[in-house]
């Protein structure tokens, strides 16, 4: 599996990378492949306060519409407009330039509830 070991994962296929108290969030390569080529991406705005499971965006493909959920609690501090405007970034580089939002963790919030790469690999195995 190609899921980076340095990231943590939500069962709903978002990944999280923590730098200090800011979590960068995107969707996994597996999710993008399942969705098929994205045709539309809409993300919530900077300033929104979220808790795990809140909708932070919508991603569409030719075949389907899927919600993107906040994997952590905090406040949206940055949105990747480049990815919204160029979905090839999400399609071709979901763990890199295709990142979606940055969320500043709420006081006391952690990533402990999220899956490790090995656990996420196990979740998607068999597909």
Q: Are 90 and 32 in contact (CB under 8 A)?
A: yes
| Of 11, 18, 22, 60, the one binding another protein by CB under 8 A | 60
Stretch that binds another protein, among 16-24, 56-64, 100-108, 117-125 (CB under 8 A): 56-64
92 in contact with another protein (CB under 8 A):
no
- Give the shortest CB-22-to-another protein separation in angstroms: 28
What is the rounded distance in angstroms from the CA atom of residue 103 to the CA atom of residue 78?
A: 7
65 in contact with another protein (CB under 8 A):
yes
Q: Which residues are bridge partners to 38 per DSSP?
A: 61
81 in contact with another protein (CB under 8 A):
no
Query: Which DSSP symbol is given to 35?
Result: H
Please identify, using beta-carbon distances, which residue of 21 and 37 lies nearer to another protein.
37
Please identify, using beta-carbon distances, which residue of 40 and 96 lies nearer to another protein.
40
Cα dihedral sign, 64-70-75-77: negative
Give the contacts of 12 (CB within 8 A, at least 6 positions apart): 69, 71
Please identify, using beta-carbon distances, which residue of 5 and 62 lies nearer to another protein.
62
Strands 101-105 and 74-79, sheet pairing: antiparallel
Within residues 19-38, the interface with another protein by CB under 8 A covers: 36-37
- Which residues of the shown chain bind another protein in the complex (CB under 8 A)? 36-37, 39-40, 42, 58, 60-65
């Amino acid at each position: 599996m190609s899921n980076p070991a340095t990231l943590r994962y939500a069962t709903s296929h978002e990944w999280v990378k923590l730098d200090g108290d800011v979590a960068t969030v995107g969707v996994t390569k597996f999710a993008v492949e399942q969705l098929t080529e994205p045709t539309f991406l809409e993300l919530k705005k900077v300033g929104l306060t979220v808790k795990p499971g809140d909708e932070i965006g919508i991603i569409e493909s030719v075949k389907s519409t899927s919600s993107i959920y906040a994997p952590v609690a905090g406040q949206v501090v940055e949105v990747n407009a480049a990815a919204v405007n160029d979905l090839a970034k999400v399609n071709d580089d979901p763990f890199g330039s295709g990142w979606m939002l940055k969320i500043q963790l709420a006081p006391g919030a952690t990533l402990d509830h999220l899956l490790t790469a090995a656990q996420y690999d196990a979740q998607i195995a068999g597909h």
